[in-house]
Amino acid sequence: MDNTLFIHASPHGKHALGYRLAEKVLAAERLKNHSMRLIERDLLAAPLSPLTHRYAAALVSHNIGERPDAALIESEQLISELERTDRLLIAMPMHNFSVPAALKLWIDHVVRINRTFIASAEGKQGLLQDRPTTVLVSAGGMLQGDNPQPNFLTPYLTLILNTLGIQDIHFVYLQGLAFGEPAIANAWRHAQAALIEAGVLSHEVP
């Protein structure tokens, strides 16, 4: 497999700075892996269905290996995207100190007992294979430095991905975007430096 799943969840769509940085990451990935195939999921342009009573009931009655209930079809499609890919790239804004609602809905469709994780006496164990995962987080305020705001996004998303079985996670922040052009340029540079340090980008790009 040489497939990347790219999930993005910004109301600004392709104009979001996080989306533009993700494009640079994907371009660098294509240079390294000419055979790379991309599955792209835009959670704002193609919103997922809200959770229904049937979904909640099917979620807890599903057992490993069973044919899934019709209410789980969309969930199955999203899980299959994860199963068919061996790299994950997520770009999203921070909304109210945590993940945006569109990404939370994706989480509620893919984190499924007896499908993507099992519960045991030792805790939850993920059933998906680990894969290199880059998470690009855009924020109006600061997340690092002298006076960072509360950040529930990073620990929450880390726990969610760990629950699925994904441990190899790298967060990169585009922060301070509400403070005007110089701050945005600074955030762009810092995020690229973090990606270069992580070996995701090889050099700075405009």
Ligand X SMILES: Cc1cc2nc3c(=O)[nH]c(=O)nc-3n(C[C@H](O)[C@H](O)[C@H](O)COP(=O)(O)O)c2cc1C
Query: Of 46 and 60, which has the nearer Cβ to ligand X?
Result: 46
Q: Whose Cβ is closer to ligand X: residue 87's or residue 95's?
A: 95
- Tell me how far apart the alpha carbons of residues 97 and 35 are, in angstroms, rounded to a whole number: 37
What is the smallest separation between the CB atom of 110 and ligand X, expressed in angstroms? 21
Which CB sits closer to ligand X, 118 or 152?
152
Is residue 138 close enough to count as binding ligand X by CB under 6 A? yes
Give the residue ranges of DSSP H helices in the chain. 17-32, 53-61, 73-83, 101-110, 153-164, 181-197
Looking at residues 147 to 166 of the shown chain, list those that interact with ligand X (rule: CB under 6 A).
149
Q: Which is nearer to ligand X, 114 or 186 (CB)?
A: 186
List beta partners, residue 38.
Answer: 4
Per the CB < 8 A criterion, the answer to whether 9 and 103 are in contact is yes
* Neighbour-count burial for 33-66, b at 16+ CB within 10 Å, e otherwise: eeeeeeeebbbbeeebeeeeeebeebbeebeeee
Q: Does 139 bind ligand X (CB under 6 A)?
A: yes
Cα separation, 166 vs 125, whole angstroms: 10
Tell which positions 56-95 bind ligand X, by CB under 6 A: 93-95
Residue 17 touches ligand X, criterion: CB under 6 A: yes
- Could you say whether residue 126 binds ligand X (CB under 6 A)? no
Q: Closer CB to ligand X, residue 15 or residue 53?
A: 15
For position 133 contacting ligand X by CB under 6 A, the verdict is no
Q: Which stretch binds ligand X (CB under 6 A): 66-74, 106-114, 134-142, 163-171?
A: 134-142
Question: Could you tell me which residues come within 8 angstroms of residue 50 by beta carbon, excluding any fewer than 6 positions away?
Answer: 105
Q: Name which position in 97, 107, 108, 130 contacts ligand X (CB under 6 A).
A: 97
**What CA–CA distances, in Å, run from 186 to 69, 141, 168, 191, 198?**
49, 13, 27, 9, 18
CB nearer ligand X, residue 63 or residue 96? 96
Residue corresponding to tokens 């969309």: 74
Out of 68, 132, 140, 165, the only residue in the binding site for ligand X (CB under 6 A) is 140
Q: Which two tokens stand for residue 165?
A: 């079985």
Give the footprint of ligand X on this chain (CB under 6 A): 10-12, 16-18, 93-97, 138-141, 149, 177
